[in-house]
Amino acid sequence: MSDRAEEEERNGKKEPVRGVLDRYDELRLRWSGLLTGGTDFDPLVPEFAGIIERITETAEAWRTSLRREEDCSCLWDDLNDWSNTAALTSNYTRIWQMALACRTFGSPLYRRPEWERDVIEALDWMRANHYFAGAEMYGNWWDWHIGVPMKLLDCMTLLYDRLSERQRADYLAAIDHFKPHVAPTATGANRVWECRIIAVRGIVGKDGGKLAAARDELRPVFPYAEEKDGFYRDGSYIQHDTFAYTGGYGQSLLQELSSLIVLLDGSPWEIGKDDREQAYRWIFDSYEPLMYKGLMMDMAMGRVVSRKEEQNHNVGHIIVSSVVKLSQVAEGSDAVALKSMAKEWIRANEWLNFYSAAGLSTAVAAKRIENDADVPPRGELRMHKSFARMARTVHHRPGFAFAISMHSDRISNYESINREHLRGWHTADGMTYLYNGDLGQYADAFWPTVDSFRLPGTTVLRGTEVPANRPSDRSWAGGTELLGAYGAAGMELHPPGQSLAARKSWFLFDDEIAALGSDISAEEPIMAETIVENRMLNREGNNRLTVDGEPKPDRAGWSERMDGARWMHLQGSVPGSDIGYFFPEPATVHGFRESRSGRWHDINRFEPESDPALTRAYLALWLEHGAAPRHASYAYVLLPNRSADETERYAQAPAIEVLANTAEVHAVRHRKLRVTGMNCWIDGGAEAGGIRADRPSSVLTIEREGRLDVAISDPTFRKDGIIGLEIAREAEAVLSRDPAISVLSLAPVIRLAVDAREAGGRTLDICFSTGG
């Protein structure tokens, strides 16, 4: 190549001259394009220019601090603890970020020889000192098997034309030493990570056998799981056997799987059509319900919530990016739906701009979708979804989404390993999340600053911790969906290591959520509390709280016992984030405003201890049940996005009626919607609101236009019997029914036998004509 041609290539004026390409070269260039965005875009477009600037600045920071002495003991002074194997992955990540800048079109570092030289020398130093064929593994296996080879292979892809054959062979020998094949026991995200490694290893090493192995070893990921890790038919995603992880390991799985599907599309090793379509189903069933305006709901993120740079919007952007990628290879209605979904999320997220952290290839594709007038934004969801297998519930309406996190003898309370998520004590004790116009509520340093002893929705012994990684000894956790629009949820709470027990329910209508609790008992002489609210406030901490028409003081430190409260209203921090609270019976509510400080290091030891403390203002509202309570109870209704006046009017004429709140049964009726919900807790039978069930179950009914719809589930997952259900009215005929439901009579009462033994907690439906 002439000097002038080489100069033009470095300056981004044209691509390097290539000889005849084989199919491995073509796939390598496609992978390089997925990493860098290629050159078919205008780098002056503001969104793209911002990404290029970010990539460049990151690389420049690492090169400035890179050590170059021949006898140095590390490449970066802050990554010199080699006993911590995370340092291995971190070193290769920084090298990769420098390599990325070298191959990012539009960057001033594009194809700069001195940069390429530094990157390659850093790779050689790591091979000579730490990651080489024959090296002994220690510490965390993940870094050796997954973290390092992923970044090393990406570096090899980017700088392939600058590496000698000997260097390529040495690097590949190191990878083959630690990750020669996909581990037979690998599941979920770990398996997809390993398949990506083997696939790119096959491309860079021009080994069709590796590529075929990667494709074949990916196949066990696609079938629905029946136990332990994987996707379930109800949309749940579980990793590490007993943890809800759609927004953690599930996010990583989707990120890598979408890349592999695009990478291998049209090649001899492409992912099969049925498997690709299964991935699209996961988007609709597992991911979409857990997304709100571009963020991923925290309750499905596991210990990821304790990572400063991986908060709900960051994770949500990765999901959006994956959807954008898949939309490029999907066909027909799937392609339209995916593009419409991505467009909605990108435009709705006013907290964190999608392009602020996107890769260039995804940004270019996303911009095309945004500019395509034939792709309409999806719009806001109106739906209710019960993820029975992972004990999570979500409820969407325009303007808000509500989420409930529970645990049981099948799903553990919270994962805390590797010194992460150190204060997750009560995050699955019925914690509730209200997402609305305040998109920073759980993203703006919520987790290091919130009072982790008082999380919204939970019933707790004041100030107590519970051990991590434990299931409960109680099986009732889950709920029922009605017409995909309304829901009932509940859990029998018994935290590990405590005598505290409670039965907790939520009945979710349009913009009203009724929360009931009963049989709250404990032996410990510690105050038991139910946390109605613990909301992050604006920076001044002066969001107005109104109680029965009386404004309360807005200063930090305010504390008050408010007897006989019927309604409350909390002013939101931004438009579309007000919250109303209604108490069906006058309640004694305790309130407290405080300014709280905390560090990310407090909840995750991988975060720098030197980081400054963060301070946020909060308002907590709670109900006290006494020390060592016996059979205490509570009831309240959340009213998202209602003004103070609207909340007061609602309190004067509430649409919700509490029918029962006992140790045996919880039941609520919505008068206007004509929806009745009941959670039965006991064997032997319970009745409320004209519904009787003879064993633990969750039931919803709605009457409309001469029809009666009935939905029922067994949240205990028991396999030892059939639920007998009786509804105190008659019907003319059955319009539709789940095969697991048998009709015993239509008059004078409806009697059903419901075989939920194989339902796995899912909702079973039946519809009757009633003639009136």
**CA 675 remoteness from chain centre:** 30
> Among candidates 481, 534, 486, which has minimal Cα distance to 511?
486
Please give the structure tokens belonging to residue 392: 């999570």
* 3-class secondary-structure state, position 535: strand
Active site residue 555: no
* Active site annotation includes 384: no
- Cα dist from 669 to 210, 611, 657, whole Å: 60, 50, 5
First CA to last CA distance, the chain: 85
Other beta carbons less than 10 A from residue 578's beta carbon:
24
Report helix angle 360-371 to 332-348, nearest 10.
100
In three-state form (DSSP H/G/I as H, E/B as E, the rest C), the secondary structure along 271-304 is CCHHHHHHHHHHHHHHHHHHEECCEECHHHCHHH
Closest CA to 679 of 440, 460, 529, 504: 504
For residue 619, which of 566, 570, 564 has the smallest C-alpha distance? 570
Q: Is 397 helix (H, G, I), strand (E, B) or coil?
A: strand
| 193-202 residues labelled b (16+ CB within 10 A) or e (exposed) | bbbbbbbbbb
Q: Select which of 63, 240, 454, 692 is catalytic.
A: 240
3-class secondary structure, 51:
helix
Beta strands in 599-664 (DSSP E): 614-627, 632-640, 656-661
Are 24 and 203 a contacting pair, CB within 8 Å?
Answer: yes
Measure the CA–CA gap between 424 and 79, rounded to whole angstroms. Answer: 28
Encoded amino acid at 686, one letter:
A
Tally helices (H) and strands (E) across the chain.
Answer: 18, 33
How are strands ordered across the β-sheet holding 691-693?
686-688, 691-693, 723-727, 750-754, 741-745
Residue 154: closest CA among 209, 186, 217, 196: 196
Give the full edge-to-edge strand order of the sheet including 431-435. 383-387, 392-397, 400-405, 431-435
- Six token digits for residue 550: 């009386």
Options 63, 303, 566, 569, the catalytic residue: 303
Pairwise CA distance, residues 148 & 168, whole Å: 15
**Whether the Cβ atoms of residue 239 and residue 188 lie closer than 8 Å to each other:** yes
Is residue 240 annotated as part of the catalytic site, yes or no?
yes
| Per-residue buried b or exposed e for 441-469, using 16+ beta carbons within 10 Å of the residue's own CB | bbbbbbbbbbbbbbbbbbbbbeebbbebe
Quick one: which of 84, 89, 412 has its CA closest to 239?
A: 412
- Catalytic annotation, pick one of 131, 171, 249, 280: 249
Cα–Cα distance for residue pair 47/41, rounded to 1 Å: 11
Question: Which token pair is 679?
Answer: 């959670």
* Cα of 666 vs its chain's centroid, Å: 29
Contacts of 476 by beta carbon, 8 Å cutoff, 6+ apart? 408, 490, 491, 492, 503, 681, 696, 715, 716
Residue 415: burial class (beta carbons within 10 Å; 0-12, 13-18, 19+): buried
CA count, 13 A, side-chain hemisphere, 53? 9
| Cβ atoms within 10 Å, residue 356 | 15
Distance CA 197, CA 210 (A): 10
Question: What is the Cα 398 distance to its own chain's centre?
Answer: 20
Tokens 């499905």 belong to: 300
Hey, which residues are catalytic here?
240, 249, 303
